[in-house]
Amino acid sequence: MIARANNLLDAADTITTPTEQTAINVAEAKFARAFAYFNLVRTFGEVPKIDFRIETQDQAIVPKSTIPEIYALIDEDLQDAVANLPLSWETRFVGRLTQGAALALQAKTLLARNNFSGTLSAARMVIESGQYDLSVPYNMIFREQSENSKESVFEIQAHYDQNTRDVGITYANRQGLRGAGEFDLGWGWNVPNEILLDAFEEGDPRKDVTVLYSGQVNEPYGEDIPGNLDRQYWNKKVYTDPSIRASTGSRTGDWFNFRVIRYADVVLMAAEAANELGQTDLALEYLEQVRARARGGNPAILPEVTTRDQDELRQAIRHERQVELGMENERFFDLVRWGIDVETFHAAGKTNYQTKHRFIPIPQAEIDRSGGVLEQNPDYL
């Protein structure tokens, strides 16, 4: 992705009379590069910064840059993306990158560095843009018919049928229920555990939207999930519509879009940043917006959070992120940036986890290919 973005940016530099569309294309490429580097820097830590077109393979052999240097590139790219991406697109460009997506990613990258004022500013620009809301019922967010809804800020598009199989994605397949026959839906990675189940408050409807249970009837499709599977719980947020499986002749969910950043995530980032900045009323307002949607009109569940104690509100917001975004690839990175990853893993019985595991090691094959220019992360030497 980074190489392709660099190639586009290099080509754009040769255009003598750039247009508004040129600026949008450049902004899209810079968003893609920032997104890729954000995932790299929070997964590996220091990585090589390659912000130029590679003509020969040896040009890619460069030493790692520091984490601040990588974030500086991310910041620069996202500033350009925010400035040049449109608020929205006409229907035929559904899912194309928007200013809201750039701002949401900007908020996420700033929050990773505890830049709360920057996070709140970027998140509020998304909120106040009027492009997104929490109108989609929680039990509909992850259904095929709700793709690219008002909840979606950044969503990777997938398309699959019996004639166009080359533009699907494998997100749902990796995490789909691992069974046999009609229930051979995927590889069964990234599954819920008891800790997540226990985190949901009594009566929280989000629990049964997040967790698929072996040996129970699956709503809303009325399927009897087999009870003899090798896991008790599965990620229901990637569970596909059985009628689409039948119509495509496929069980692996290649047509299922990947919701990368949801609007609720943006609202909770704003709540967290506001609380850390001492803006209690604003933090409570944003937190209640998310809980109100989850409540679904039932006043007997999910009572409104009213504490004005900063630490108590901090814990309430962290809890809300855990249950609202359960199984959506946020939890580990949240634990790391909060600095409670070690204690949380150890409390869960994962006592081999150490601070070095916040980053994973550089693959040895890549170090070998670089002739030693690329160095291993220090804690893994």
Q: Where are the alpha helices (DSSP H) in 140-279?
A: 171-175, 194-199, 207-210, 242-248, 263-276
Residue 324: pLDDT over 80: yes
Q: What is the residue range of 67's domain?
A: 1-85
pLDDT of 160 above 90: no
Domain boundary among 59, 85, 111: 85
Question: Are residues 176 and 245 located together in one domain of the fold?
Answer: yes
Residue 206 lies in a domain: yes
Domain boundary among 85, 108, 129: 85
Residues 164 and 249 both lie in one domain: yes
Residues 244-263 pLDDT 10s: 999 988 899 999 999 999 99
pLDDT bracket for residue 327 (50, 70, 90): very high
- Segment 279-303 shows an average pLDDT of 98
pLDDT of residue 179: 94
Beta strands 217-218; 223-224: pairing state: antiparallel
Backbone angles phi, psi at 218, to 5 degrees: -95, 115
Q: Which of 85, 101, 128 is the last residue of a domain?
A: 85
Residue 164 has pLDDT above 70, yes or no: no
- What's the domain count of the chain? 4
Q: Looking at the structure, tell me whether residues 93 and 230 fall in a common domain.
A: no
**For residue 161, is pLDDT > 80?**
no
pLDDT tens-digit profile of 67-122? 999 999 999 999 999 999 999 999 999 999 999 999 999 999 999 999 999 999 99
User: Where do the H-state alpha helices sit in the chain?
Assistant: 2-12, 20-44, 67-84, 99-111, 116-127, 171-175, 194-199, 207-210, 242-248, 263-276, 280-295, 310-324, 331-338, 341-347, 364-369
Enter the pTM of the model: 0.96
Does 344 reside within a domain? no
**Percent of the chain whose pLDDT exceeds 70:** 99
Nearest to 168 by CA among 253, 274, 239, 111: 253
CA nearest to 140, candidates 272, 268, 259, 284: 259
Range 346-370 average pLDDT: 96
Helix (H, G, I), strand (E, B) or coil at 260: strand
